[in-house]
């Protein structure tokens, strides 16, 4: 059984009392099981936790006083990736479930309405199905240069398409946009994964809805996609920011580590205990 030991450390200089919303905990998702986790907040303060039931995304809210803030999250996770069939059909729009329909719509970073002509020219003549989404993934990998620092938090898929450069979230946004422009529901997934070439960071990929299931694609091809530990799922980066901050704040440190390993498989019929989050406000 494959496991991942994950630690993230975020530190901030808070200029005046500020409110924080963090999305850094492992999501509740069938693709993995949280064995243990620990959240340490310094200095001591009241912390609120909640989960978005629709996405499984977990959030931390807190009011930080002026001064230094440190947020440390550690977890050990068992991964249970599902095999992906070689052949999957696209779902006609009339058959898309109500709760999936919103992933067909244009969003802040994924202007699928504006990009419709480009998507049709590039991929409209390909046979519908998972092969067409694979073609989108390959085209992005071959056509867009991975250049850290080239884009910023406001860069959209249309800009990436024109500039032909970006980072993992830009690659994912472009994949989502092309899929939606072809009437394939698609969404952003952000998580932790081990990279052979550090430094580690949050990694963004995209999912497409094919034949009644979500299938992950990674145009960067930087890490094994079946080893991604999901943190956030949403329409685009607006929904899955690891930190949303209201106030005068400056980030001073961000460190992520992901260590991979294997452990003996659980005996048949053995129950999985629900994860217990230990919160320490030091």
- Give this prediction's pTM: 0.91
Largest separation between any pair of C-alpha atoms in the chain: 59
Tell me how far apart the alpha carbons of residues 164 and 205 are, in angstroms, rounded to a whole number. Answer: 17
Protein fold of 2-81+241-271: Immunoglobulin-like (2.60.40)
Q: Where are the domains of the chain?
A: 2-81+241-271, 93-229
Q: Are 31 and 216 in contact (CB under 8 A)?
A: no
**C-alpha of 114 from chain center:** 24
Strands 186-192 and 67-79: unpaired
Half-sphere exposure of 197 (CA within 13 A, CB side): 2
The arrangement of secondary structure in 93-229, i.e. its CATH architecture, is Roll (3.10)
User: How far apart (Å, rounded) are the C-alpha atoms in residues 149 and 135?
Assistant: 27
Task: Count other C-beta atoms under 10 Å from residue 248's C-beta.
Answer: 12
Whether the Cβ atoms of residue 203 and residue 228 lie closer than 8 Å to each other: yes
3-state secondary structure at position 105: coil
Strand order through the sheet with 277-281 = 249-262, 2-14, 67-79, 32-42, 277-281
The tokens of 83 are what? 């095999």
pLDDT (tens digit, 0 to 9) for every residue of the chain, 282 residues total? Answer: 689 999 999 999 999 999 999 999 999 888 888 999 999 999 999 999 999 988 889 999 999 999 999 999 999 999 888 888 889 999 999 999 999 999 999 999 999 999 999 999 999 999 999 999 999 999 999 999 999 989 998 999 999 999 999 999 999 999 999 999 999 999 999 999 998 876 788 999 999 999 999 999 999 999 888 899 999 999 999 999 999 999 999 999 999 999 987 654 444 444 444 455 555 555
């Amino acid at each position: 059984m494959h496991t991942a030991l994950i630690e993230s450390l975020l530190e901030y200089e808070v200029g005046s009392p500020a409110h924080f919303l963090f999305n850094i905990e492992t999501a509740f998702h069938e693709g993995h099981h949280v064995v243990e986790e620990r959240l340490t907040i310094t200095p001591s303060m009241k912390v609120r936790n909640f989960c978005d039931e629709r996405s499984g995304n977990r959030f931390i809210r807190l009011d930080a006083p002026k001064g230094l803030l440190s947020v440390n999250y550690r977890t050990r996770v068992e991964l249970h990736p599902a095999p992906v069939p070689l052949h999957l059909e696209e779902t006609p729009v009339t058959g898309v479930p109500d709760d999936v329909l919103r992933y067909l719509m244009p969003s802040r970073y994924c202007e699928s309405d504006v990009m419709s002509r480009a998507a049709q020219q590039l991929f409209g003549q390909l046979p519908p199905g998972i092969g067409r989404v694979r073609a989108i993934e390959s085209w992005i990998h071959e056509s867009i240069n991975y250049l850290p620092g080239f884009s910023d938090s406001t860069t959209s898929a249309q800009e990436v398409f024109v500039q032909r450069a970006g980072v993992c979230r830009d690659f994912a946004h472009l994949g989502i946009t092309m899929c939606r422009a072809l009437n394939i529901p698609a969404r952003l997934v952000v998580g932790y994964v081990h990279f052979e070439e550090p430094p580690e960071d949050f990694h963004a990929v995209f999912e497409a809805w094919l034949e009644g299931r979500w299938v992950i694609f990674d145009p960067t091809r930087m890490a094994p996609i079946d080893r991604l530990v999901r943190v956030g799922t949403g329409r685009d980066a607006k929904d899955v920011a690891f930190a949303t901050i209201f106030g005068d704040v400056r980030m001073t440190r961000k460190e992520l580590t992901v260590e991979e390993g294997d452990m003996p498989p659980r005996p048949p019929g053995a129950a999985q205990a629900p994860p217990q989050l230990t919160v320490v406000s030091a």
